[in-house]
Amino acid sequence: MLDIRFVRENPDAVKENIKKKFQDEKLPLVDEVIELDAKARAAITEASELRAQRNALSKEVGKLMGQAKKDPGKLAEAEAIKDKVKAQAERLAELEAQEAELNEKVREIMLRIPQMIDPSVPIGPDDSHNVEVERFGEAKVPDFEIPYHTEIMESFNGIDLDSARRVAGNGFYYLMGDIARLHEAVLARARDFMIDKGFTYVIPPFMIHGAVVEGVMSFPEMDAMMYKIEGEDLYLIGTSEHSMIGRFKDQILDGEQLPQTLTSYSPCFRKEKGAHGLEERGVYRIHQFEKQEMIVVCKPEESMDWYEKLWQYSVELFRSFNIPVRQLECCSGDLADLKVKSCDIEAWSPRQRKYFEVCSCSNLGDAQARRLKIRYRGEDGKLYLAHTLNNTCVAPPRMLIAFLENNLNADGTVDIPESLRPYMGGKEKLIPSKNQ
């Protein structure tokens, strides 16, 4: 969400930014919000003038009423001024109602105008124009056939999709045995990895109020993702970022305590609207999963440095699992409206012989902070909006697809990387049930 003063003073830049995001249908919003803002400010000015006049006239009435004891003619003057004050009060009430209505319209439009993207963001209409930046690890294709990920899991008696469909429908799963243990081991390793980086571990609320939802995401994202609790002002979170950023709502932070670096665990709930392709069966695109997240709240001058650190943490963690990855810079048309800059970390799938998304790192600038009034006090005593960033640390079970494929052997066993062995009871391999 932009500052209305910035829009007022830089309308051409705001329109150019909208064009870069290929949202030309929003261009009229800029002139519309500037016009509404002008009317709102005019109403505020007139109301202020009326309040000043009313105060002056009220004092005059008091003075005349005091003089009326000696000069009865002053009483008539006082009554005339009272009538004027009453008329001004009625006009003031109209202006205050008009001001509230106009400000709400301005706010609604401002929520739809996208954040200014960073100059380094590549320009393109959709994710097909995202740009590969760098690869980490050798993307190998083994000389044996790799089964679909659910088949690998089934070989360990590790998944039951049929029962999940009967219990909850499509998009849910039961994980069991060594696969369930591996799932939790990955989360535990990610937790400790981030703690070792100096992040504070947090388990947040898994439901949030509508005002927080509005503060952390755009309306299209909200409609596509969020489940609402019927009859209550509560939504199930789609990622712990939502409640983690919401924690700072309406807060004035001590600048000396920034940055806040947090890593949060949560289940995540998503509608996942739209058609699902062949490769999105199994546990790739689901309604419920668990995730370890990275969150940073910092000063504006620090946010780009933290952006670079966060995605690099993802690379380091995935490489410790023997998973080759690449960094993909998101183009302008692929950025959600609140994002200044974003990149995906994609894992190598030797079965598909291509990369697929496992992490998303985003710098949201002051967009969330402005919506939620997250501020900090600088050394000069003034208040400033903080910047917020988030990044997926790890999100099994999707991440397990990459793990199983890249650590699978020809005999059906799966190697356990050294970094995970302490969380798997010292196991070095997973052995299929038929071989036990």
User: Are 103 and 137 part of one and the same domain?
Assistant: no
* pLDDT > 70? residue 58: no
- The average pLDDT across 211-229 equals 85
Task: Return the ∠ at Cα 366 (arms to 362 and 372), rounded to 5°.
Answer: 105
38-47, 256-265, 326-335: segment of lowest average pLDDT:
38-47
Say if CB 34 and CB 57 are below 8 A apart.
no
The yes-or-no verdict on residue 278 having pLDDT over 50 is no
Q: What is the pLDDT of residue 66?
A: 53
pLDDT tens digits along 174-215: 999 999 999 999 999 999 999 999 999 999 999 999 999 999
**pLDDT over 70 (residue 425):** yes
Does residue 326 lie within any of the structural domains?
yes
What is the model's pLDDT at position 276?
47
Whether residue 100 is found in the same domain as residue 145: no
pLDDT, mean of residues 243-248? 96
* pLDDT at position 118: 97
CATH number of the domain where residue 298 is located: 3.30.930.10
Domain housing 272: 127-435
Instruction: Quote the pLDDT of residue 434.
Output: 76
Question: If pLDDT is split at 50, 70 and 90, which confidence band does 275 have?
Answer: very low
Residue 92 and residue 143 in one domain: no
Residue 134 lies in a domain: yes
Would the pLDDT of 236 be above 80? yes
Domain presence at residue 122: no
Q: How many structural domains are present in the chain?
A: 2
Q: Dump pLDDT digits (tens) for 104-125.
A: 999 999 999 999 999 999 999 9
Q: How many CB atoms lie within 10 A of CB 355?
A: 20
Residue-level pLDDT at 95:
81
- pLDDT confidence bin for 61, thresholds 50/70/90: low
137-168 tens-digit pLDDT = 999 999 999 999 999 999 999 999 999 999 99
389 shares its domain with 269? yes
Q: Are residues 90 and 154 in the same domain?
A: no
- Are residue 149 and residue 277 in the same domain, yes or no? yes
The predicted pLDDT at position 223 comes to: 74
Q: Kindly state whether residues 327 and 419 are assigned to the same domain.
A: yes
Question: 13 and 54, same structural domain?
Answer: yes
State which of 82, 110, 138 marks the end of a domain: 110
pLDDT value of position 96: 85
The Cα 345–Cα 327 span in angstroms is: 5
Mean pLDDT of the chain: 90
Residue 115 counted as domain residue: no
Tokens of 297: 């709240």
**Residue 64: is its pLDDT beyond 80?**
no
Q: 73: pLDDT confidence band, cut at 50, 70 and 90? A: low
**274 and 170 share one domain:** yes
Query: Greater confidence, 436 or 422?
Result: 422
On the question of pLDDT at 72 being above 70, the answer is no
Lowest mean pLDDT among 24-33, 94-103, 172-181, 325-334: 94-103
Note whether residue 120 is domain-resident: no
96 and 149 together in one domain: no
Residue 282 has a pLDDT of: 74
